[in-house]
Amino acid sequence: MGDVPWKGARFAEYRDSGPGAGPAGANRPHPGPERAAGQEAGDRLGGWRPTAS
């Protein structure tokens, strides 16, 4: 996460699963589908286009 302190960050998880997924809480918000519906990956990633190597 670079220089973003994890407790001060404003990250959220939506439909996470697997070993890194955790329960919702004050430091780990899980927005509902109504909030996530208007958000696209490109809104967050800007011009960055990750590729598999």
- Per-residue pLDDT tens for 3-52? 766 666 667 787 888 887 878 777 777 888 888 888 887 777 778 877 87
pLDDT of residue 2: 62
Residues in the chain: 53
**Predicted pLDDT at 4:** 65
Assess contact for 14 and 36: CB atoms under 8 A. Answer: yes
Q: What is the dihedral of CA 41, 14, 31, 3, to 10 degrees?
A: -70
DSSP one-letter code for 14: S
Please say if the pLDDT value at position 53 is more than 60. yes
Model pTM? 0.43
| Residue 45 DSSP SS3 | helix
